Amino acid sequence: MILGVLAILAVSATALAANSTYTNPILPGFHPDPSCIFVPSWNKTYFCASSSFNAFPGIPIHASRDLQNWKLIGNALSRPEMLPALATTNRSTSGIWAPTLRYREEKSKGRFWISTTLVFDDLPKDNVSRWDNFVISTDNPYDSTSWTDPVHFKFGGYDTSLFWEDNGQVYVVGSHEYEVWPGIQLATIDLQNGKTGPWSNPWNGTGALAPEGPHIYKKDGFYYLMLAEGGTGLGHMVTMARSRHGIQGPYEPAPQNPLLTNANTTAFFQTVGHADLFQDARGNWWAVALSTRSGPEFLNYPMGRETVLTPVTWNQGDWPIFTNVSGTENGWELPPQTLVPEGKGPYVDSPDHLTFPPGSPIPEHLVHWRLPTPDTYLVSPPGYYNSLVLRSSVLNLTGYDGYYTGGKGQTFIGRRQTDNLFTYILDVNASSLREEEDEVGVSVFLVQRYHFELGIVLLSSSSSSSYSDSSVSLKPHFRFRGISNTSVPDTVVPFPSFISLDTAITMEIKAFNWTHYFFSAGPRDQRHLMQTYGYARGEQISWGFTGTLVGPYATTNGRNGSANGAFSVSVGNWTYIPQGQVIN
């Protein structure tokens, strides 16, 4: 039994009984750099934003009324025209970094604000074009389309955060590229036009690597400036300084820095840092932070940096005291369990069974890698009832060299892996494949440089085939392959005799332990004939800033003369079954 042999498994948040005990992560999977707030006037609701990098829709917004059940209520970056440059960001580490979510109520009218950065990570660190900082806002976070177009502002850095003074003056604090300029910068900002005042340098941290992720809080007459330091790996930590003389400082570092870290421990939850602070309905303080479930060896963490929650004791005039992050925590008394009825997305621990009924939108929690090209994903078009039709891209999941896409788009749609143990099932109709290297399949995708997939692909064959042209004979094959920092040989197997391209084929990805993925396929109506064609180790897709996605792709693999939409395939019966969390 996995519970006794491998690990302690967390139950779903909806099954928790103790009113002060909860499990981490609260947002499992690809949800790094969390920023959370409590808004009493919005039905006593907690809202969280997290980084999305190259995923689109981007900047997912989750809501909870009990700090235990978190529902995706929308994506703040939902329209391609909001940020068209996301289509051509280079490098797998580019995209949206560290959104900070804040709420401001003025004259009994409230508004939600996000400040963040679109990063072009291939540009030199002293090139200010590397950083595109902007602010967006909404008066209704439950409506993804209500977020405004970006108001851009000039700043040669990232991880920006807004702060309102008591008189209404707005400040923005951010992280300059620490290898080029002094670390933390502060200025006034006009949120209507993005104009900033002169920049100052209030504090650069304790001297550790990469002072970043700054947030400012005002409490008991002090201005507190909280940072992430140590880099986002095993040395990650939270530090703080405060000023009693105004927002510009001088700032006095906390004598017990770092205030939160799991560095140099054997804890299963590692890389803890990049925190944000908020109060609950009773006035108790909490922190959210990012963490990987990797252990100190930092090898197997394909779900990437996740959002964890930990209680904070912050007495009047004192420094905050953070509880160390672990899988099971005893915190302040939790609010009564209450679900959030608003919003179109699922709870973060929900299973999927998607049938794509006619007239329905693409579900809120499904994402693409960079911006999708138009008319590539069609829900139940004529002749394809209860199906999602994918039009192929020239580029496959790797693209040209693992970094660049040239804005052409990659046909891939996935959901975040939110469970260590899961089964993902998809029915595929591949009968429209016609040319050599036409391919459709399912993938565990981290970034362009790290992914594994099982595809149905047409390849040359010495025997005759009904799928042929005048120059080459083609036969369908299952092909398992991937790209990682280790060698990954292709496995190519001709279709077994009981499968043809006219057969409805079920494809399956299964993580039945927390270190390996298995890729299988077989006839939809004869599941006992399913065969496994490959496996991948979690450590082979553990890298960088993001987390794994699972879903289908369709490509001509760069075939000369082909164009996007060279063929279309339909998929359906999209099923994702959560089967366990490893928390220790």
Which tokens is 203 given?
């504090």
Tracing tokens 């496995």 back to the chain, one arrives at 491
Residue 488 and residue 451 in contact, taking contact as beta carbons nearer than 8 Å: no
Tracing tokens 């899961």 back to the chain, one arrives at 422
Q: Count CB-CB contacts under 10 A for residue 341.
A: 9
Q: What angle do CA 15, 18, 24 make, to 5 degrees?
A: 65
The answer for residues whose C-beta is within 8 angstroms of residue 414's C-beta and 6 or more apart is 366, 367, 443, 445, 549, 550, 551, 552
Q: Can you tell me the distance from the alpha carbon of 25 to that of 41, in angstroms, rounded to the nearest whole number?
A: 27
* Identity of the residue numbered 525: D
- Active site members: 33, 212
Q: Count CB-CB contacts under 10 A for residue 151.
A: 18
Would you give the DSSP letter of residue 273?
Answer: E
- What's the CA dihedral at 66, 71, 73, 74 to 10 degrees? 130
Three-class SS of 361-391: CCCCCCEEECCCCCCCEEECCCCCCCCEEEE
**311: helix, strand or coil:** strand
Element housing 5 (H / E)? helix 2-5
What distance lies between CA 561 and its chain's CA centroid? 35
Which tokens is 395 given?
């580029």
Q: Can you tell me the distance from the alpha carbon of 212 to that of 229, in angstroms, rounded to the nearest whole number?
A: 6
* Identity of the residue numbered 127: N
The sign of the dihedral angle between the CA atoms of 247, 309, 60, 74 is negative
What is the DSSP annotation of 497-560? Answer: TT--TTS-EEEEEEEEETTEEEEEEEETT-GGG-EEEEEEEGGGG--SS---EEEEEEE-TT-T
Percent of the chain that is helix, strand, coil (3-state, to 5): 5, 45, 50
Q: Can you tell me the distance from the alpha carbon of 386 to that of 306, in angstroms, rounded to the nearest whole number?
A: 33
Region of residue 152 (left: phi > 0; alpha: psi -120 to 50; beta: else): beta
Tracing tokens 């339909």 back to the chain, one arrives at 570
User: No. of H helices and E strands in the chain?
Assistant: 1, 39
